[in-house]
Amino acid sequence: MNLNCSSWQDYGMSIKHFAFAKFSEVTEDCFLLFTLILLMFLASVIGNALIVLTIWTSSVLHTPMYFFLANLSLLEIGYTCSVIPKMLQSLVSEARGISREGCATQMFFFILFAISECCLLAAMAFDRYMAICSPLHYAARMSRGVCAHLAMVSWGVGCMISLGQTNYIFSLNFCGPCEINHFFCDLPPILALACGDTSHNEAAVFVVTILCISSPFLLITASYGRILAAVLVMPSPEGRHKALSTCSSHLLIVTLFYGSGSVTYLRPKASHSPGVDKLLALFYTVVTSMLNPIIYSLRNKDVKAALRRTLSKKKVLTPSQ
């Protein structure tokens, strides 16, 4: 169903507001999805916040690996908070509209956190490579300054790409329809609403996606290729198991994040389906963010021990408050 955009256009026939398509005409379906997304959203925010708090308060975890993990959790919080609240409102409310500026802002932060996460996952793979393949030089080469620099580069690249892509897309003219057939202001559904030829914009999105998804992924693949080669020549089975166990959580996060992202943005345009795109969007915006703290806390003894200490301190402090 296309919405009437006549009241949302200025005299130049440029749309000033959009509206998200209704998920379903069945109210019960909308409330069911609302409940599921809300629960996953709360689990994601609380879980990632606990990871950040645990790493911040536990001196045992003040190492490069956990520094990057804290940054990853901060990115996940920003990632979900940039799109989920408006998504939840659109599911159960008739107020499904969003201004052009609001849509651009949502897209900016979504791209910022997504691209930054791609780069940060590559930095985390490099950290594991240095720890396993060059342990004698690890402390010197992965100093606090180097780690901070890698994190800042990740955030900086995300900011620049996000600013450029958002400005490029919203410099287009939107003359109708105004209904976004998606849960949030993602790149493909917004481009689909633009008037005129958008082939250059679609090419730019594809090139940026290739560079910002494939390049970090190649670095991750190269790092783990070297790690695997180093592990295979280790004489001790215990040493091999310990080395691989420090990488398993990161590899699982990489698989989930890159798998859903690649299917969404790198598959041919002709194969895009609104229903599939929405399902994938839910997966990489809320499901992977929710799984991040679960994977790292359940599979990491240090994090579990520090988390128990953090929670026990909270319980001790609560009665006195």
Any idea what the CATH number is for the domain that residue 278 is in?
A: 1.20.1070.10
**307, pLDDT greater than 80:** no
pTM: 0.84
The one-letter amino acid at 282: L
Beta strand segments in 58-171, E = 97-99
Within a domain: 246: yes
Within a domain: 225: yes
What tens digit of pLDDT does each residue of 126-156 get? 999 998 888 888 888 899 999 999 999 999 9
Within a domain: 43: yes
CB 21 within 8 A of CB 181: yes
Task: Give the chain's domain count.
Answer: 1
Phi, psi of 16 (to 5 degrees): -105, -15
Looking at residue 313, what is its pLDDT?
A: 65
Position 104 confidence tier, pLDDT thresholds 50, 70, 90: very high
CB 122 within 8 A of CB 219: yes
Within a domain: 259: yes
Within a domain: 271: yes
- The domain containing residue 55 runs over which residues? 26-307
Looking at residue 106, what is its pLDDT?
A: 93
Token pair belonging to 198:
């958008």
Mean pLDDT of 241-268: 74
Looking at residue 77, what is its pLDDT?
A: 92
Within a domain: 4: no
Within a domain: 314: no
Mean pLDDT of 178-198: 83
Count of CA atoms in the C-beta half-sphere (13 A) of 134:
12
